[in-house]
Amino acid sequence: MKLGTLAACLSLALGTSAFAQTTTLKIGYATTKESHYGVGSTVFCDEVEKGTQGRYKCQHFPNSALGGEREQIEAVQLGTQDLVNTSTGPVGNFVPEVKIVDIPFLFRDYDHARKVMDGPIGQDILAKFPSKGIIALAWTENGFRHMTNSKRDIVKPSDAAGLKMRTMENKVHMDGYRTFGILPTPMAFPELFGALQQGTVDGQENPIPVILSSKFAQVQNHLSLTGHVYSPALLLLSPKVWNKLSDADKKVFVEAAKKAGAAQRKKVNEDENNGIAQLEKDGMKVTRKVDGAAFREALKPAYAGYAKEFGADNIKKISDVQ
């Protein structure tokens, strides 16, 4: 009898602990599960599940299933969504210090950008999030942004002048693009494909991995490799989840996010290396040689405004990272 009682108690205890074991976290992002965001998010979720022995796992919501990036960040802040893997585009509306990394032509190349993000400057920005009700686990990546449109090749700013270009809801980007003569049209990402298809906007600007995974070649003829803005991304967690984690689990989440960032960057590199040829195959005309000096020259009035807003010294600190 005692043995039977013991077995029953044991089975009940095991059942209860198994029941209490798994918390499923909702993670959202704007692109497909096969995209760079999907790759980074999958690595994060796999590492968390492994590191917490299955006590935490994820449910993915790709393709903006939970709304645009801005709505998803708000939901994470409110605690109605657990995680978002988002570009920095709308993040400056929540944490103004992030806006500095959105300045056009601030970063020389991927090596420079990643060193800044992984170094003291990038880590100091991450530390600003908790006071705004968001936990920034790590930098991930979106990539250098390039322009596409349905009208013409873009080699210099005057070629872009007059084009109605969808942009993110990001004042730093929009101020810069206006100096090129572009008519910036802010729009949530989920609306973009339809707007390009219907001709509501002439073009858009995004990194190669996004252009590829969103199949923009179906609705855009011209791609210019302007590389005008480096677009970092972030893995953001709700404080509601973070505050329930043990110190050991917090460590697991942060390490998982760092591995996610590395995987996402690797996928960005692969898409950059192979994606341009694929987009050509899909019918896009690619302008590889862009007059970067002319774009930088056109940007000077905007830079005067950036210096006022962010401090010329702070901009220089980023430029000086070797």
Residue 99 lies in a domain: yes
| Contacts (Cβ under 8 Å, ≥6 apart) of 17 | none
Long-range CB pairs of 186-193 (<8 Å, 24+ gap) are 188/64, 188/67, 188/68, 188/69, 188/70, 188/71, 189/30, 189/64, 189/68, 189/69, 190/30, 190/63, 190/64, 190/67, 190/68, 192/166, 193/219
Strands 203-207 and 164-167, bridge-based pairing:
parallel
Q: Rounded CA gap, 146 and 206, in Å?
A: 5
Q: What is the DSSP letter of 30?
A: S
Q: β-strand 135-149 against 285-287: which pairing, if any? A: unpaired
In this prediction, residue 204 carries a pLDDT of: 98
On whether residue 16 sits in a domain, the answer given is: no
Task: Evaluate whether residue 14 is within a structural domain.
Answer: no
pLDDT digits (tens, 9 = 90+) for 50-98: 999 999 999 999 999 999 999 999 999 999 999 999 999 999 999 999 9
Query: Does residue 130 form part of some domain?
Result: yes
In a domain, 10, yes or no: no
Residues of the chain with pLDDT under 70: 1-20
The structural domain count of the chain equals 1
pLDDT of residue 313: 97
> Tell me, what's the pLDDT at 21?
86
Kindly tell me the burial class for residue 53, based on how many C-beta atoms sit within 10 Å of its own C-beta (0-12, 13-18, 19 or more).
exposed
Domain assignment of residue 157, yes or no: yes
Other C-beta atoms closer than 10 Å to the C-beta of 223 total 25
As a whole number of angstroms, the distance between CA 299 and CA 133 comes to 34
Q: What is the CATH number of the domain that holds 260?
A: 3.40.190.170
Domain encompassing residue 303: 22-320
